[in-house]
Structure 1
Amino acid sequence: MLSARTQLTDREQRLLKDAELYARDLRLADLTTEAMRELTVERGVDFATAVLYRVCTQEAPADQQKALPSADMQRRSRQLQIAIVPGAFYKEHPQTGADGRRLRQAATAMSFDCHPIQVESIGLLQPNAQIIIDWLLQHATRPTALVSFCKGGADLKLALGHPMAAEAFANVKAWYSVCGILDGSPMVDWIYQRPTTLLAARALFWLRGRDFQFVTQLRPGPASPLQPSFVPPDHLQIFHVIGFPLTAHLSNGRSRTWHRRLSRFGPSDGATLLLDVCRQPGHVLPVWGVDHYAAARVDWSALVQHIAFHAAPDPSFGSHITPPNRFAASTPR
């Protein structure tokens, strides 16, 4: 996936150039949580975001821009299906993009079968994980790519630890986690540290007949069901599509408020800490200038191209083709 933005401001260009010099000898393993906090305090959250972005792009695979030939796309679309695991509140607030509608439209336009997995919009982790397992056992009878959004990544992470996971994921070739909240969110800690806010949140859930465990389960820490690290099956490719926004890129009031609250911990996309996601098993696909809620700023057709290449069932399809990554064309260098 890539940002649909094609031009950078002068400030962005200067910031990225300075960050490139700063990050020249750094690796992701060098960037501890404390180091990112200190850098944020010393140079500001925008500079820290640019540095982390530069480190991630330095370690990302050096794919070149090249669209798949139409004949190959047709063959891949006949054999590969794409399944979407939506994010939280995708039914109540589809405008956030958590329903994956834009991806589904792009995939359908390229003749891929693309299906939403109907997890509960405000559902607990374990029941939603079971829904995913049941769907895969019934429908993943051919090569499948999974794309999860936001909290859907947490649901899918829990599904990987299910007793039936080996059978359910046997035909799943790739998992793309888009803005995934895989270890919970420090914003839940922020709520718990403020009794009045916590009381108001509990009251709101009670009035609407919702289980507040939905929030509690996303609180980072040893009590979280997301705490155990997961070991993906050997055949499963994992890609984390992560937005790296500056403060000027934040797309709405909620994103700006949460980004400001999370900035004391380091760079975030307005909902989750970027360094935490970068440390997950798999490959990082960094996207400049996109926050947690900016689905309209994403080139979803390019993501479908990426999925088609990496999840293609027949490896001979790609033997003579450079992996598509138009991300390189609009990614600031």
Structure 2
Amino acid sequence: MTINPLKKKSLGNTSLEVTRLGLGCTSLGGMYEDMSEEQAVKVVHRSLSLGLNLFDTAPFYGSGKSEQRLGKALAEIPRDRFILATKVGRTLVPTLGKDRGKKIFVNPLPFQPVFDFSYDGIMRSFEESLTRLRCDRIDILHIHDPDDHYTEAIESAYPALEKLRSQGVIQAISVGMKQWEMLVRFAHEGDFDCFLLAGRYTLLDQSAMEELLPLCIKKNISVILGGTYNSGILATGAQPEAKYDYADAPLEILERVRQIEAVCDRYQVSLKAAASQFALAHPAVTAIIPGAATVEQVNENFSLLQQKIPDEFWAELQLKGLLRKDAPTPKAAG
């Protein structure tokens, strides 16, 4: 079974149609290692040339650097050729010091990201993103990481997004988080078109199946998945210092990945291909947005979805308890 990366799916109740594979733009902001502006533009242009149309960024990524570089890469591209997603919830405060953003971003722009879910803060962040992205509208706007700010996010940020949607300068309202529990609360209390969920529906963690994904199907909220490699271990395998959820992987996770790798070896299946294809098999999931720091990685992300994985591979993972028995697989998804 293979998955067509270029197949388009509707995003919630909007008129937007996104390719099943998009580009997450953390690397453009210098996540873990810096990249040149020229390289960033090449990554975006290669994604476009393959036919991908979904690009996801945020002010947080490199303190504006990712948005700035994505804007430059898309400046001469017809606007109807791509769907642009960015985030609100952090404003960028100018700083002359060395403490610029989180350490995960190398050589960020001279701004410090500060949480701000106020109505005015959301509007200001949106306007600044338009400037960096060199555009007059954004297709998808996510409320970014409101874990400790739920009340302000639903009472102040959400009305701001509703206002922008009514004005037609955004089409889809979303929340982007690394947890599923709070997304359930947002789904019940607001009119959201999609959610961006990172790391909670993967080969290693299917916890979002319990409540969030069925609810999203019921309410026609599309799910975009980030973090499908759980911060790296499903890409690198169970190597020393492999990362899981932005930290060194614990022993039980390393052992579980070793067992999955053994099944991969038996069926000659790429671990990364299995991780990518599994994530897209759930009917609630519309797209995945892996990052890429090079043109070669863009090509690889594309080819991973086209690699054939036998049905027996998924059956063995489930038989061995390495995958939930009720988790949809590419075979079941058709």
User: Which structure dedicates a bigger proportion of its chain to helix?
Assistant: 1
The verdict on a shared fold, with TM-score over 0.5 as the criterion, is no
Q: Normalized against structure 2, the TM-score is what?
A: 0.33
Higher relative contact order (CA 8 A, sep 6+): 1
Structure with greater strand share of residues? 2
